[in-house]
């Protein structure tokens, strides 16, 4: 009987050691994840900006090939039917002025909600007024994360800026 109780004590000790090791490994992983979460978010947002740039360039190229129509037809990523995309006179993705212009442009380009890794992406319309009334107003859509990371889309010339982190602004 004593050998049976020794086996129970030994297996209980082994079980406790395994639980402690798993707990330590999980805590190390959680600490690492928390430290790297901002980098994961920035890398994911950078990838989104790259996808945004690719779609804008694709639409512009299609506009040039289709002899510059006001509406471009593209195969949609998430739907079976073709996606109709409105462009401005220069062939860049744009929508008629109205409420939530930048959010509507995001929906056209990305075909997904304004979010990344459970973080909301804010869509802000930035207007740069020219000193001379005869010149155009630069209309820029800024897509930003709560940590300050953002990229801009210029509706006039189609330029998508590089991702800038809030940390590099300090």
Could you tell me if residue 81 is left (phi over 0), alpha (psi between -120 and 50 degrees) or otherwise beta?
beta
Q: Strand, coil or helix: what is 33?
A: helix
pLDDT in tens, 36-65: 887 888 889 999 999 999 999 999 999 999
For 132-155, what is each residue's pLDDT tens digit? 665 556 689 999 998 888 999 999
Cα–Cα distance between 142 and 145 in angstroms, integer? Answer: 10
């Amino acid at each position: 009987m004593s050998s049976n109780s020794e086996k129970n004590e030994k297996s209980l000790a082994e079980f406790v050691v395994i639980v402690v090791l798993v707990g330590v490994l999980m805590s190390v992983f959680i600490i690492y994840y928390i430290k790297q979460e901002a980098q994961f978010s920035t890398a994911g947002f950078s990838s989104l900006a790259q996808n945004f740039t690719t779609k804008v360039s694709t639409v512009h190229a299609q506009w040039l090939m289709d002899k510059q129509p006001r509406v471009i037809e593209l195969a949609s990523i998430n739907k079976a039917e073709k996606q109709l995309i409105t462009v401005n006179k220069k062939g860049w993705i744009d929508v008629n002025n109205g409420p939530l212009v930048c959010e509507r442009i995001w929906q056209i380009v990305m075909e997904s909600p304004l979010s990344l890794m459970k973080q909301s992406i804010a869509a802000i319309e930035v207007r740069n007024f020219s000193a001379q009334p005869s010149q155009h107003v630069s209309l820029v859509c800024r897509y930003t994360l709560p940590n300050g990371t953002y990229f801009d889309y210029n509706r006039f010339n189609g330029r998508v800026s590089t991702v800038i982190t809030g940390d590099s602004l300090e």
